[in-house]
């Protein structure tokens, strides 16, 4: 648990300063959230950091979310007067979808900065916009360590930034399941059980169903008992990769 508590590295403090200082010079902020839990993964204090500069909310990893719930979120953002678009940064068409969403809302010159919590796909989206792998990405939070300006076609300029976290919110277990906050080894089994139960509502009353899944996969110790740690790891990877189907972890405040 200690590791998680001290999880607010210096580069995140530096990022806040950059966002505040650059805000007047930018056309818009591209605010990344996870389509499976958009408001939970939306950075609260960002609103005050960006000032009057427009924000476009991008609900990324949409292919992992429940489509009906994502549609409800899109209606909710529209009702709030917030420009939002749902996409999948790993999909080849994502750049076209995003360019359209941006040009419909703000005009040239396009000087953009991508902001949001860690591990949401900010750098993946940039690579998609450039059409090649220009910046590092990875399946754990904290890959991007410093700001990086990249030029895109059409004279667009795009600033990739490290993810920032809201320490007060980082205790929510769903942020750990979504990969935004690192998971300490001693909490992995508890998280896997919670995640599994949420994703398999029909297995209600069978709290050990995730353990049985591990047994079937052959995750056994030398004594032929189920290796709970390995099973928990596999469950969390399965959630990350959509192995258990599409699932949303948060519904809009006004319901579906």
The CA distance from 67 to 42, in Å, is 19
CB 144 to ligand GTP: min, Å: 3
**Residue 240: cis peptide before it, omega within 30 degrees of 0:** no
Q: Which of ligand GTP, Mg ion, none interacts with 119 (beta carbon under 5 to 8 A by kind)?
A: ligand GTP
Q: Which of ligand GTP, Mg ion, none interacts with 252 (beta carbon under 5 to 8 A by kind)?
A: none
Binding residues (CB under 5 A) for Mg ion: these are 122-123, 143-144
The CA distance from 251 to 96, in Å, is 27
The CA distance from 151 to 141, in Å, is 25
Task: Give 70 or 144: the residue with its C-beta nearer to ligand GTP.
Answer: 144
Q: Which of ligand GTP, Mg ion, none interacts with 61 (beta carbon under 5 to 8 A by kind)?
A: ligand GTP
CB 144 to Mg ion: min, Å: 3
Determine contact, residues 116/163, Cβ cutoff 8 Å. yes
DSSP notation for 194-228? HHHHHH-GGGTT-TTHHHHHHHHHT-B-TTSSB-H
Task: Give 114 or 192: the residue with its C-beta nearer to Mg ion.
Answer: 114
Task: Give 148 or 197: the residue with its C-beta nearer to Mg ion.
Answer: 148
Binding residues (CB under 6 A) for ligand GTP: these are 60-61, 63-64, 88-90, 118-124, 137-139, 141-144, 162-163
Q: Which of Mg ion, ligand GTP, none interacts with 256 (beta carbon under 5 to 8 A by kind)?
A: none
CB 240 to ligand GTP: min, Å: 7
Q: Which of ligand GTP, Mg ion, none interacts with 60 (beta carbon under 5 to 8 A by kind)?
A: ligand GTP
Task: Give 35 or 211: the residue with its C-beta nearer to ligand GTP.
Answer: 35
137, two tokens: 């990405």
Q: Which alpha helices (H) appear in the chain, and where do they start and end? A: 2-5, 10-22, 46-50, 67-80, 94-105, 122-130, 173-177, 188-199, 209-217, 228-241
CB 7 to ligand GTP: min, Å: 12
Q: What share of the chain is helix, strand, coil (3-state, %, to 5)?
A: 45, 10, 45
CB 56 to Mg ion: min, Å: 18
Beta-bridge partners for 84: 57
Q: Which of Mg ion, ligand GTP, none interacts with 231 (beta carbon under 5 to 8 A by kind)?
A: none
CB 81 to ligand GTP: min, Å: 26
């Amino acid at each position: 648990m200690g590791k998680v508590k001290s999880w607010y590295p210096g580069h995140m403090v530096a990022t806040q300063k950059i966002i505040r200082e650059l805000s007047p010079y930018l056309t818009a902020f591209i605010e990344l959230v996870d389509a499976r839990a958009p408001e939970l993964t939306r950075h609260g204090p960002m609103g005050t950091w960006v000032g009057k500069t427009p924000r476009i909310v991008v609900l990324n990893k949409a292919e992992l979310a429940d489509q009906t719930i994502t549609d409800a979120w899109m209606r909710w953002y529209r009702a709030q007067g917030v420009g939002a678009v749902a996409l999948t940064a790993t999909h080849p068409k994502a750049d076209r979808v995003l360019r359209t969403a941006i040009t419909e809302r703000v005009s040239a010159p396009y000087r953009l900065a991508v902001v949001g919590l860690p591990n949401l796909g900010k750098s993946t989206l940039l690579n998609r916009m450039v059409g090649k792998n220009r910046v590092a990405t990875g399946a754990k939070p904290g890959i991007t360590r410093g700001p990086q300006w990249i030029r895109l076609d059409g004279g667009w300029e795009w600033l990739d930034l490290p993810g920032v976290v809201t320490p007060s919110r980082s205790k929510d277990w769903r942020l750990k399941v979504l990969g935004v906050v690192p998971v300490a080894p001693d909490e992995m089994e508890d998280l896997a059980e919670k995640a599994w139960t949420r994703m398999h509502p029909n297995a209600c009353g069978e709290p050990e169903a995730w353990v049985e899944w591990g047994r079937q996969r052959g995750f056994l110790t030398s004594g032929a008992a189920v290796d709970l740690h390995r099973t928990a790891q596999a469950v969390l990877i399965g959630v990350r990769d959509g192995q258990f189907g599409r699932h949303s972890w948060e519904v809009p405040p006004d319901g579906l």
